[in-house]
Structure 1
Amino acid sequence: MATLLQLVLDGPDRGGSLEMARQLADLVDAFELGPRLLQAEGPAFVNVLKGTVPDRPVACWAETEADAQALLEVGVEGLTAPASLSDEALSAIVFGCRQAGRRMLLDLSSVADPGAEQARFRRLKPDLVKIPVMVNLRGVMAELRDLEIPVAFSAGWSVAQVPWLLLYRPVALIAGSQVTAVPEPRRIVEAIRARMTVTPTMSHFY
């Protein structure tokens, strides 16, 4: 299965976020609404974004069961929740996603040692884990290998790293400020897409 490219929209500017989604929809496979934008606009903004890019899935950040329920009710395709939440809160979000037939992605950026979280992952059974590239990625992937939970990569990866990241067969590369905070976001996304077509010359090395 080909790796997807997902873009997180999390600026406070409603109009700017919609315009960026419109301009990049032909290059991006899915969008995610981050916590700042959701706090400013609320769950109803999901339908506004869907109206702007109707053929692209939309995922959202959720930190409480109430947030998750409100977002599932407006038709998001998936939810991202931080691993810093309690097991009780995460279990409720996972359950809500299962009931709605939606995916739950567990964001590990708030965890000091993602590889040490294996017991939690077995209990929670998220559909995906989102791993920040700034961690010891090779070591983390080796520790998570036996869990057989699909992964997505986020936080701080560069265009040059894309072929290397694809060696791990992630479900998605999740881009944020490396696209949204630059003067020419389309040029960056085009460069990412070009790198995603490069065939890796090495086998798995984790």
Structure 2
Amino acid sequence: MVKFDEKGLIPAVVQDASSKEVLTVAYMNEESLQKTIETKETWFYSRSRQELWHKGATSGNTQQVVDIRYDCDQDALVVLVHPAGPACHKGSYSCFSDSLLQQETFSTDDRFAILNVLEATIAKREAERPEGSYTTYLFEHGIDKMLKKVGEEAGEVIIAAKNRDPEELRWEVADLLFHLLVVLREQKLPLDEVLKTLQERHGK
């Protein structure tokens, strides 16, 4: 089904199943791939130590495997996971945290680009839990706090609309969308699945 190189290895790109962010790139041999399939957690082969390693075995930052896909040449893998903490050994959500461009721009052709960025940022906050972050606060207090905020923000949207106040409505809808994205992250439900449902309904 898949092709290993002359050293018996295949590259594996690990991707967050919800945010679609690339978390890390590692290598698997036949044994680590089989263990990954059997345990539904990522196992890799360390080329430097020449041994298998179970991601999160010591740190607790395991990766629950959702799917494993291979490319058209069958010589590379994409492993979709739900991470239980940072993927990087430096404590970062992703090993690919630094940018050569050092700027964040949004395409004018994509009205909803900010939603992709926000979804990825929420995933990063969940994994890294930076002190002082409001998103960290929500994840540490759990689903009940999140849902309370969703209810509060939905009420604020209603009030703003009843008051015919477009500026207030703009702010309150933004707050509601943010808290909904936090809930989706906590529930491990990608925004793509919600958009897919909207597309299916529109098709009918």
TM-score, normalisation: structure 1: 0.23
Higher relative contact order (CA 8 A, sep 6+): 1
Structure with bigger gyration radius: 2
TM-score, normalisation: structure 2: 0.23
